[in-house]
Chains A and B, each alone.
Chain A
Amino acid sequence: MCSGDMDAFRVLIVDDEEELVSALVERLNLRGFEARGVTNGADALADLETTPCDVVVLDVKMPGLGGLEVIRRIRSEHPGLEVVLLTGHGSPTSVEEGMAAGAFDFLMKPVKIDELALILRSAGSGEDARRQEERDG
């Protein structure tokens, strides 16, 4: 089921839960994404410097460089890159802050893989432009 047209979808998973990262990477790869993962914000920014990427899946609360700080840096350093937030937190404020900082969408942990895949695809396709218009409109 791995079709070549999905090759373009390069996904970076950023989460401090190592097992979650490896499982997500494995499962997204099975679904045709080109996924890789890191376990902290600093590594994520370093990775983005060297390796091209389409969508970042980002945990909001992480020790060290937090998700909100990472998304702000991404928005300024990689303007074309879409970010999907992952949050285990019930707090709506951090999600609101993340969305305000320019996230494409957010998902509550635990996530359904198909849901994640769907959002990743729409983030990576031209739909982001449409959503951008909606936000601005």
Chain B
Amino acid sequence: MPESSEKGPGSTGEQRSRELFWQTLGRLVLLYFVPLILLAVFFQLQYRNVQRDSLRAHLQGLAEHQARTFDLFLRERLVNLGNILGDPRFGADTTWRDLSSFLDELRRASDAFVDLGVVGTGGALVAYAGPVRYTAPVSYGEEPWFRELSAPGTTSVITAIYLGFRDKPHFTIAVRRDQGPSPVILRAALSPERLSEYLTTLEGATEVKAAVVNGTGVLQLSASRMGEPLEASLFTPPATPRRGFVAGGRDSGRPDYAYAWLTETPWALVVVDARSEADAAVPVVLSRPLLASLGVFLFVGVVILVRTRQVVGRQLAVEQHEAELSGQLVHAAKLASVGELASGIAHEINNPLAVIAEEVGVLKDSLDPELADEDDEPVDLAEHLDAIHDAVFRCRDITRKLLTFVRHGEVKVQIHDVHDILDEVLDVLLGNELAISNVLVERSYDRGITGILTDRNQLAQVFVNLVKNALDAMPGGGRLRVTTHLEDGQAAISIKDSGCGMSPEQLEKIFMPFYTTKDPGRGTGLGLSVSYTIIRDFGGAFYVVSAPGKGSTFTVKLPLAAA
């Protein structure tokens, strides 16, 4: 179960600060703006829906209102005609001249009236007042409206627009009264121009464009440039419901429209929004919800900026504190490993001290008259003094190395030959201990590894920790294989012992601070966790492979120094 970790080389403070700032800003912006944008879009859509619905309702209301008014207008025209039929001056003998006075009356009621005629049995025009000068007898017998009006029960009719005898588009309205044996029919033509003008006077005419179409969509009347009467229009409102709204078709170029069917005629009054598309688009762009959203965005943006600065400041403080703590921990661990080294060092120092004591003892003995024997060979002073001298300097070397190792100096990252550091640990710092522990050290160095960027003392501390652990794993002696090789462009240093190995449960915990398998008071449990930290800080990685009874292999990977 190899454990590993990688970390890039540490960045400078300012760089780190900037990096952290953008990271935090990005995260906060994502966190706050994504839901905000979704909300804003949602509200904008809702707002547009409401706006559209209210526009629809408004259009539809106008259509209904105008339809009612127009219905009323048409009914009034029928009433105008009916009034003539009921007038005592009107009779079967009404002459052409009398009729013109009735036409004048009609025109006073509405200027839409063009002419007036009396139709007798079989559809013959018996009297006429209006602009046409008829020279031949005229019969409406074959006209659809006449046949419609002849049907029993029908007393009035309003035609759709058509080209009559005059070859001019017009409407015919006619009323019938059954007087005695033969019915009397009064007909009048209505001018489409006048009716169209009337449409423009209806309520809401400034907001909407109105038109009147028949059931097949043929334009009857148009208030404003929506086509000429008798042309096919874009609008074919459905027969049911009697009023409604039809959404525009982008392909057909037909705008949204509302319609209402008239009651007097089979026509529908159609209204469309008179505002141009551009006019309608303006309020959408600067709609109130959009402005509100922008306001909220601005506010949240400012809050995020302020917050980011705070968070980054706090994070940097925490990181600095962490770095300080980490430094202290490294030093504490170094002191602790010195403590672990102490028993080995005691041995190393006590041995030369013992030599000194005995050499001095020999010299003292030679001066002691009680012990000295005349026939003994004289003591070789120089030999004993040399031995003392050597032993003293052995002691000095040991203390000096110890101090170098434990010095809490500034971390000095330089290019070092990793083999030099390994040899110092294996030969000097732990050489004696390895020898007396009967551990055979095998070295296999790849001299192609020229240099790594590291702090000599810290890396030595890592190796001391690893070798000490290996020693502890091999109480009865064993083999320690130290190899270096290039792997993925990095220097890989492996330290393999032939010791007891570790169980998967132990492996999981070995990098945790204060985890130790040693007896209380014998280990701090800091060695590996601190080694891990050191290697990570140099941009390296740490691996361990181990199984019970098969020994452990610790591998440290470090980046090579740029050549």
User: For chains A and B in complex, what number of residue pairs have CB atoms within 8 angstroms?
Assistant: 77
A26 contacts B by Cβ under 8 Å: yes
User: Quick check: A90 and B342 within 8 Å, CB to CB?
Assistant: yes
Report how far A26 CA is from B387 CA in the complex, Å.
Answer: 15
Task: Mark interface residues in B466-506 (1 if CB within 8 Å of A CB, else 0).
Answer: 00000000000000000000000000000000000000000
Residues of B near A87 (CB, < 8 A) are 347
User: Quick check: B343 and A110 within 8 Å, CB to CB?
Assistant: no
Residues of A near B438 (CB, < 8 A) are 63-64, 66
User: Quick check: B371 and A109 within 8 Å, CB to CB?
Assistant: no
B320-349: which have CB < 8 Å to A? 342-343, 346-349
User: Quick check: B346 and A88 within 8 Å, CB to CB?
Assistant: yes
Q: Which positions in B face A, CB cutoff 8 Å? A: 342-343, 346-351, 353-359, 361-362, 365, 370-371, 373, 384, 387, 391, 435-438
User: Quick check: A19 and B350 within 8 Å, CB to CB?
Assistant: no
Report how far A110 CA is from B342 CA in the complex, Å.
Answer: 17
Residue of B nearest to A90 (CB): B346
Report how far A17 CA is from B352 CA in the complex, Å.
Answer: 8
A23 contacts B by Cβ under 8 Å: yes
User: Quick check: A90 and B343 within 8 Å, CB to CB?
Assistant: yes
Residue of B nearest to A92 (CB): B343
Residues of B near A111 (CB, < 8 A) are 354, 357
User: Quick check: A88 and B371 within 8 Å, CB to CB?
Assistant: no
Q: How far is the CB of B359 from chain A (nearest CB, A)?
A: 5
Residue of A nearest to B477 (CB): A66
Q: How far is the CB of A20 from chain B (nearest CB, A)?
A: 5
Report how far A113 CA is from B361 CA in the complex, Å.
Answer: 8
A18-65: which have CB < 8 Å to B? 19-20, 23-24, 26-27, 30-31, 61-64
Residues of B near A118 (CB, < 8 A) are none
Residues of B near A62 (CB, < 8 A) are 436
User: Quick check: B357 and A19 within 8 Å, CB to CB?
Assistant: no
User: Quick check: B353 and A109 within 8 Å, CB to CB?
Assistant: yes
Report how far A79 CA is from B358 CA in the complex, Å.
Answer: 30
Residues of B near A3 (CB, < 8 A) are none
A1 contacts B by Cβ under 8 Å: yes
Residues of A near B357 (CB, < 8 A) are 110-112
Residues of A near B437 (CB, < 8 A) are 61
Residues of A near B347 (CB, < 8 A) are 61, 87-90
A100 contacts B by Cβ under 8 Å: no
User: Quick check: A109 and B350 within 8 Å, CB to CB?
Assistant: yes
